[in-house]
Structure 1
Amino acid sequence: MAETTTTTHSVTVGQRRMLVSWAGTTDQGRRRDTNQDAFLADYPLFIVADGMGGHAGGEIASQSTVQRLQAVVADGGVGREAIEKALELAVADIADHPETTDEGTGTTLTGVFLEFQEGEPHWVSLNIGDSRVYLLRDDRLLQVTTDHSVVQELIAAGKLSPEEAEGHPYSNVITRAVGASELTPPDYLTIDIRPGDRFVICSDGLTKELTDYGIQHFLRENPEPGPAVDAMLAAALENGGRDNVTLIIVQVSEIDSSSTDDGSGA
């Protein structure tokens, strides 16, 4: 397996220069015939989409969503309004595609992007479905997003424990998706930028095979995004690879003012 490339881009936060580094990968896994996942890791937007639907439907849904969001990045106007307009176009693309006849066709969408207010950046997480964003901060791993799933609703209602949720027959049933029905805007959460922060953005193909402890372990063992991505993917496949596996790792470090960065791959 080829090593995953880490890419970097500098950003100014107040009087401090930060370096944003990232790497991402997707894999079909060991039990699926196709890969219905897709991802976009293109500064300042980092997202994972996990498609669902019969035949080629899931792949079409995730790829259509990624392509529409890629156009937002190319236009240089990444923000909540632009993202939602792109998702509306993706829903139309999915509905109009000749191979997406299944009513259950759609895709999850989750990730983070940099939003600028008066020139100052901060992170915003977005989420539709049960793909996840985690944040490792001060050596604690936090799940930033909340799953839009039947199981999560049962947990929130006190009818199911997190332990009971694992292996539950409804564990794959999500309550929101891009393309499955009328579009509901993503959930957003604003997060400040801190040196040392590391985001893991992933489809459930990763979290089916790695616990939160496992994710944190591989982050600790691999300080750079590329090797960390490779290690997590390898572990997920070794643990069964029951689904498509997609993940992006994004992290922030502080750089001194004498350093230079041209935004190219490192």
Structure 2
Amino acid sequence: MPEASTQTRTVALENGPLELAWASATHRGRRRDANQDAVLASFPLFIVADGMGGHIGGEIASASTVDRLRSVAETGTVNPKAIEKALARAVKDIASHPGTTDDGTGTTLTGVYLDVTGTDAHWVTLNIGDSRVYLVRDGSIVQITTDHSVVQELVAAGRLSPEEAENHPYGNVITRAVGPSDSVTPDYVRLDVTDGDRFVICSDGLTKELTDYGIQHFLAENPDPASAVEAMLGAALENGGRDNITIIVLNVGHQDAQEDEGDTEPVVASSPAGD
């Protein structure tokens, strides 16, 4: 099992420094021949992509999408316009790659970034597909993203209960993806920056094996992000590991729970152009 390491960052904001700590890991799982997930955990952008299609098509789709978004993160200017331009380029990359086809090739995409362009900093989640962003705040866990899946549509229409959805035969059928033929705009959700928040960004390989409350349990038992990632990954593998598993844990504040390793250089928040 891969070892996770916690990275830290101090972000200088107008209302005082913001302490961040995060860790990530990805694993093939126990039943898959290859890992078609891809992960990006590079301030200010934290992304998980879960590829699908053919023997290597999914791996190409997720890697292409993450590579394009890595370039966005490296500029330090992350906003919907930059993200959507990167996704349009990823779509072209996927379509032109000899290892992909139009038949089911694509990738989910979900994550969160820190937006410092306004008066107050905000988190912004983005989502395409059924990978998820969870937020733990004040002792409660909430799924921030909404799955783009057949099952979720049935639940929203009242034709399926959440309990029935867990084992539905169409559980893996998603309705939106980053693919070789269509440009897809993510759903965005803005969130206040609150000390003590903890985000979990994950592919469905985790949520197939752990309930929301299981995720919350391992977070509560492991204040350090790397420890939390390793604990959840270990539990998901023990519970079957039926799919590729990718996890990012991001802590906001609580500097005393963070380790000294990683990037601790202060980052002064700038005000890049908006959307």
Q: TM-score, normalised on structure 2?
A: 0.91
Aligned equivalents of 2:2 and 2:34: distance in 1? 20
Instruction: Judge conservation of contact 1:57–1:106 (CA < 8 Å) in 2.
Output: yes
Who is 1:10 aligned against? 10
- Which letter maps to 1:262? E
- Which letter maps to 1:117? T
Instruction: Judge conservation of contact 1:197–1:252 (CA < 8 Å) in 2.
Output: yes
Q: CA deviation at 1:2?
A: 5.1
Q: CA deviation at 1:17?
A: 1.4
Q: CA deviation at 1:14?
A: 3.6
Is residue 162 from structure 1 mapped to residue 145 from structure 2 by the alignment? Answer: no
Instruction: Judge conservation of contact 1:18–1:255 (CA < 8 Å) in 2.
Output: no
Q: Which runs of 5+ in 2 are unaligned?
A: 257-262, 268-275
1:45-83 C-alpha deviation (Å, 9 max, x unpaired): 000000000110000000000000011112222111000
Who is 1:65 aligned against? 65
Who is 1:192 aligned against? 192
Aligned equivalents of 2:32 and 2:65: distance in 1? 21
Who is 2:89 aligned against? 89
After superposition, the CA RMSD in angstroms is 1.8
Aligned equivalents of 1:80 and 1:255: distance in 2? 30
1:87-141 C-alpha deviation (Å, 9 max, x unpaired): 0000000000001024210000000001122464210000000000000000000
Instruction: Judge conservation of contact 1:36–1:50 (CA < 8 Å) in 2.
Output: yes
Q: CA deviation at 1:181?
A: 4.0
Instruction: Judge conservation of contact 2:68–2:89 (CA < 8 Å) in 1.
Output: yes
Q: CA deviation at 1:12?
A: 3.2
Q: CA deviation at 1:263?
A: 5.7
Instruction: Judge conservation of contact 2:61–2:107 (CA < 8 Å) in 1.
Output: yes
Q: CA deviation at 1:155?
A: 0.2
Aligned equivalents of 2:181 and 2:171: distance in 1? 20
Instruction: Judge conservation of contact 1:24–1:41 (CA < 8 Å) in 2.
Output: yes
- Which letter maps to 2:111? G
Who is 1:130 aligned against? 130
1:14-44 C-alpha deviation (Å, 9 max, x unpaired): 4221111100000000000000000000000
Who is 2:265 aligned against? 262
Instruction: Judge conservation of contact 2:2–2:25 (CA < 8 Å) in 1.
Output: no
Aligned equivalents of 1:78 and 1:115: distance in 2? 7
Query: Identity of aligned pairs, percent?
Result: 65
Instruction: Judge conservation of contact 1:133–1:143 (CA < 8 Å) in 2.
Output: yes
Q: TM-score, normalised on structure 1?
A: 0.94
Who is 2:114 aligned against? 114
Aligned equivalents of 1:27 and 1:231: distance in 2? 13
Q: 1-10 vs 244-253, which deviates more?
A: 1-10
Distance 1:2 1:149, change over 3 A: closer
Instruction: Judge conservation of contact 1:30–1:237 (CA < 8 Å) in 2.
Output: yes
- Which letter maps to 1:88? A
Instruction: Judge conservation of contact 1:7–1:263 (CA < 8 Å) in 2.
Output: no
Aligned equivalents of 2:266 and 2:33: distance in 1? 36
Q: CA deviation at 1:218?
A: 0.1
Q: CA deviation at 1:10?
A: 1.1
Matches within 5 A, 1:168-247: 168-179=168-179, 181-247=181-247
Instruction: Judge conservation of contact 1:7–1:21 (CA < 8 Å) in 2.
Output: yes
Q: 78-87 vs 176-185, which deviates more?
A: 176-185
Who is 2:22 aligned against? 22
Aligned equivalents of 1:255 and 1:62: distance in 2? 33
- Which letter maps to 2:157? A
- Which letter maps to 2:192? D
- Which letter maps to 1:10? T
Instruction: Judge conservation of contact 2:3–2:25 (CA < 8 Å) in 1.
Output: no
Q: Indicate the SS of the match to 1:146.
A: coil
Q: Indicate the SS of the match to 1:101.
A: coil
- Which letter maps to 2:171? S
Aligned length in residues: 262
